[in-house]
Amino acid sequence: MGVGNAVEGKRVFEVITNIRMAERITLAIFCVLALFFASGNLLARQKSKQQWKTLPFAIVRYNDDAPKSWNVYRGDRKGIYLVRLWKRYLLIDTLSQSAFEIDPAKVKAVGESADLASADVPDEPIDISEWKTKDAGPVLRHKFRFGQTGNYLELQIPVLPNGKPVY
């Protein structure tokens, strides 16, 4: 009788072990599927248009003068701005100190917002030089030159006293 209980206990242990293994495999499959669908959702979101909102109190200076027509838009990511300068659009990445010229037909500006698909941003940045970033208290100043001898563009972004953006 004692041997039968030991054999039965071993069978029960094997069944429980198999159930736990099946649960682990199911959990692993679920995690892989969740990552797969999350990456698909991320790709779909990257292909969609990004909403840009007007950045209040920002200042644009072109060769130390205010341009007649301009606007600065902020996106979801910190340090990236869409600047409208007359009929020209520039995507300025202050973190990598680069600027991209955007085709105006690709930007849909309506009121205080603009739409731009991330696929419409060119791969190659425009040629800029002499990038300078200065923390001037309530504003961050980003100034650069187009090409080696071109015009200057200065972008002044308002910040809080702790250095975080106002928006």
Considering the entire predicted model, what is its pTM?
A: 0.68
How would you write the chain as a 3-class SS string?
CHHHHHHHHHHHHHHHHHHHHHHHHHHHHHHHHHHHHHHHHHHHHHHCEEEEEECCCCEEEECCECCCCEEEEECCCCCEEEEEECCEEEEEECCCCEEEEECHHHCEEECCEEEEEHHHCCCCCCCEEEEEEEECCCEEEEEEEECCCCCEEEEEEEECCCCCECC
Residue with tokens 């669908």: 37
Which residue type, as a one-letter code, is found at position 54?
Answer: T
Residue with tokens 């009121």: 111
pLDDT at 134: 93
pLDDT at 45: 45
Which residue type, as a one-letter code, is found at position 62?
Answer: Y
List the pLDDT tens digit at each of the 167 positions of the chain: 556 666 666 776 677 787 877 777 777 777 666 666 655 544 444 456 789 999 989 999 999 899 999 999 998 888 899 999 999 999 999 999 999 999 999 999 998 999 999 889 999 999 999 999 998 888 999 999 999 999 999 999 998 887 777 76
